[in-house]
Amino acid sequence: MSSNGRSGSADPIDRLRKDDATPEAPTAPALKAVGGVAGWLDDRTGAAKPVGYLMKKVFPEHWSFMLGEVAMYSMIICLLSGTFLTFWFVPSAGQVVYDGSYLPLRGITMSEAFRSTVDISFDIRGGLLIRQIHHWAALMFIVALSVHMLRVFFTGAFRKPREINWVIGCILSMLALVEGFAGYSLPDDLLSGTGLRAAEGFMRSVPVLGSYLSFALFDGPFPGEAIIPRLFSIHVLLLPAILVGLFTAHIGLVFVHKHTQFPGPGRTNDNVVGFPVMPVYAAKAGGFFFIVFGVISLISGLVTINPIWAYGPYDPSPVTAGSQPDWYMGFADGALRLLPGWLEFTAFGFTFSFNVMIGAILLIPVMYGLMAVYPFLERWVTGDTREHHLLDRPRNNPTRTGLGMAALTAYGVLMFAAGNDLMAIKLHLSINDITHILRAAFFIAPPLVFWVTKRICLSLQRKDRDLVLHGRETGRIIRTADGKFFEQHEPLDEFTRWNLVQHDPHEVLTLERATDEHGVVSPTARKDKARSALSRFYFSDSINPVTPAELAAAHHDGHGHESIGAIEASDDETRPALESARREPPKRP
């Protein structure tokens, strides 16, 4: 690309620039070598432009923006450690007699998959550590990804133009569950075999198709010999490829959209305030990768995960108490534990097991479906078609925050239900009582949490308004000459104030007339009605930020007891700036 500019030396325009000084080449030999290599590469790949673009990308600074990074690094750690494990893991259900170095399993018949996992744990140098790194990193991956999703949701980062990226994230998250479950099922220990047995039951609960599905996947009746090699291909080939592909798209879109930022003085919808990738974020993110790797390695070195030698090889007859899936499948397991038995019934000579199917088959797609649809729903309700690069403080959208907390509560109830047996023995409670309470909580707690969260958000917004209008309570009591007492309030500085007044006010969408002047009913009348009802649900009690006019009024006569000289003077200084404050953010000093 760069050579094109110089090639046309006969071009008349070049005469105008014949006096230009040729830039001096860098003199340091090391720099020259680097430049040479870079130039060589650029000539052949044209990489300079895109790489330069990426390196100059500016990222804002906030700890919560690094949650996605934790997920990304955990995934990379999984890929690295997983590759190591494939060197020794034998994905086969072929039966062998164990003769390795772990005495309590000697002479037991087991599958080759289980034997090779035990060998990795006891006979391969560093194998157990890598296995534990792989498993802990997988758990950490989904924890970080989930918390990252929560951050995106509660700050409204999914709004235009990021809806597609939110949907990609939802798919990534759902596939991560499947990938995790496939990995959990591979070692063929008692726990993973029990998990597969449960999965087989889930498939069979699908009306009409169930037994065909299960036969197709297991290549015959459970357990069969096909499932382990099949899951292996899915776990190491298919899903990682899709995950990495989607992840690349995910992060690519972050570069295209630019990263969102929290509101603050000088931060607008059209800029990104932060540091460039090179050199700041390259160093920070690179360092953070090693921190994440270090922490996961430390945990893996200190804490056992999935002690397959203790579970023993899978055999369809035994089951262990405390058979649970890894945490990320806990909500589905909990739903199974909560669903009442009467949902299974017989009709037309067939058994319909909705007690299993609702929790095991329907829940996951329904949950992720709702999550993926939410940005579009909110956009429809608000009628907001603008781009948003500034994040919402969660309190400034009370209904969204409330809905999110309600959903999180429902999820939490299901997840806790998966541990009902352990709660029963550790807390000396009756498992029946726990189950009944959680069943009720699944329906009662989310609306309650919604209401409480919304109230808290509204109160926080009122507090913000109060702070802006009346300033901070200093705790200093002043007695005037004529014996009046009052507490002195200190007005906020304009940088602090900016954060409290910068957001957009919410308005309820009003219903356009359902009939036109001729009395003809508008074709969209029903939709409009639903939309304005939802809009009322979202925003009818919303509290809007203080306007400059309100602020000015408050400072003039809002609080007579404070109108003493000193404060009045400081108010006068700030007021002119505030007239335009709602439009123009103050510049950092």
Site for another protein in 325-344 (CB under 8 A): 325-328, 330
Q: Which of residues 491-550 bind another protein (CB under 8 A)?
A: none
Q: Which of residues 189-208 bind another protein (CB under 8 A)?
A: 190-191
The C-alpha atoms of residue 81 and residue 97 are separated, in whole angstroms, by 27
Note whether 409 binds another protein by CB under 8 A. Answer: no
Phi, psi (rounded to 5 degrees) for 252: -60, -40
| Stretch of 65-73, 155-163, 251-259, 547-555 lying at the interface with another protein (CB under 8 A) | 65-73
| Nearer of residues 132 and 535 to another protein, judged by Cβ | 132
| Stretch of 17-25, 206-214, 279-287, 336-344 lying at the interface with another protein (CB under 8 A) | 279-287
DSSP string, 387-441: ---BPPPGGGSHHHHHHHHHHHHHHHHHHHHTTHHHHHHHHT--HHHHHHHHHHH
- Quote the radius of gyration of the chain (alpha carbons, Å): 31
Q: Which amino acid is at 27?
A: T
Instruction: Report the residue from 428, 479, 518, 587 that binds another protein according to the rule CB under 8 A.
Output: 428
**H/E segment holding residue 27:** none
With contacts defined by CB under 8 A, how many residues of the chain interact with another protein? 75
| Nearer of residues 50 and 287 to another protein, judged by Cβ | 287
The 214-253 site mask, x for binding another protein (CB under 8 A), equals ----------------------------------------
Q: What are 117's two structure tokens?
A: 């996992």
Q: Which of residues 248-277 bind another protein (CB under 8 A)?
A: 275
| Nearer of residues 304 and 459 to another protein, judged by Cβ | 304
Instruction: Report the residue from 429, 440, 444, 514 that binds another protein according to the rule CB under 8 A.
Output: 429
Q: Which of residues 68-87 bind another protein (CB under 8 A)?
A: 69-70
Instruction: Report the residue from 50, 52, 221, 322 that binds another protein according to the rule CB under 8 A.
Output: 322
Contact 492, 471 (CB under 8 A): yes
| Nearer of residues 122 and 368 to another protein, judged by Cβ | 122
Q: Which of residues 433-492 bind another protein (CB under 8 A)?
A: 433
Note whether 396 binds another protein by CB under 8 A. Answer: no
Contact 78, 139 (CB under 8 A): no
Note whether 320 binds another protein by CB under 8 A. Answer: yes
The C-alpha atoms of residue 486 and residue 152 are separated, in whole angstroms, by 44
Contact 337, 169 (CB under 8 A): no
What's CA 448's distance to the chain center, in Å?
Answer: 24
Instruction: Report the residue from 323, 488, 532, 547 that binds another protein according to the rule CB under 8 A.
Output: 323
| Smallest separation, CB 145 to another protein (Å) | 11
Q: Degrees (nearest 5) of the Cα angle 453, 454, 460?
A: 90
The C-alpha atoms of residue 34 and residue 512 are separated, in whole angstroms, by 65
Contact 475, 487 (CB under 8 A): yes
| Stretch of 88-96, 136-144, 380-388, 524-532 lying at the interface with another protein (CB under 8 A) | 136-144
Q: Which amino acid is at 281?
A: Y
| Stretch of 12-20, 35-43, 425-433, 543-551 lying at the interface with another protein (CB under 8 A) | 425-433
CA distances for 302 relative to 80, 136, 154, 296, angstroms: 20, 11, 34, 10
Contact 110, 98 (CB under 8 A): yes
| Nearer of residues 179 and 571 to another protein, judged by Cβ | 179
Among 285, 362, 315, residue whose Cα is nearest residue 188: 315
| Nearer of residues 51 and 129 to another protein, judged by Cβ | 129
Q: What are 382's two structure tokens?
A: 């608000």
Instruction: Report the residue from 239, 356, 357, 418 that binds another protein according to the rule CB under 8 A.
Output: 418
| Smallest separation, CB 17 to another protein (Å) | 38
Phi, psi (rounded to 5 degrees) for 473: -75, 120
| Stretch of 318-326, 354-362, 374-382, 388-396 lying at the interface with another protein (CB under 8 A) | 318-326
Instruction: Report the residue from 237, 425, 549, 566 that binds another protein according to the rule CB under 8 A.
Output: 425
Note whether 147 binds another protein by CB under 8 A. Answer: yes
Instruction: Report the residue from 42, 61, 123, 344 that binds another protein according to the rule CB under 8 A.
Output: 61
Instruction: Report the residue from 6, 63, 270, 519 that binds another protein according to the rule CB under 8 A.
Output: 63
Note whether 171 binds another protein by CB under 8 A. Answer: no
Note whether 407 binds another protein by CB under 8 A. Answer: no
Among 132, 187, 66, residue whose Cα is nearest residue 301: 132
| Stretch of 34-42, 135-143, 388-396, 517-525 lying at the interface with another protein (CB under 8 A) | 135-143
Note whether 128 binds another protein by CB under 8 A. Answer: yes
* Contacting residues for 576 by C-beta, under 8 A, at least 6 apart: none
Q: What are 375's two structure tokens?
A: 């940005």
| Nearer of residues 146 and 397 to another protein, judged by Cβ | 146
Q: Which of residues 282-311 bind another protein (CB under 8 A)?
A: 284, 287-288, 291-292, 295-296, 299-307, 309-311
- Determine whether 480 is exposed, middle or buried from the number of CB atoms within 10 Å of its CB (0-12, 13-18, 19+): exposed
Instruction: Report the residue from 234, 272, 278, 280 that binds another protein according to the rule CB under 8 A.
Output: 280
Q: Which of residues 86-125 bind another protein (CB under 8 A)?
A: 103-108, 121-122
The count of other CB atoms within 10 Å of the CB of residue 289 is: 16
Among 327, 321, 288, residue whose Cα is nearest residue 135: 327
Q: Which amino acid is at 439?
A: R
The count of other CB atoms within 10 Å of the CB of residue 503 is: 19
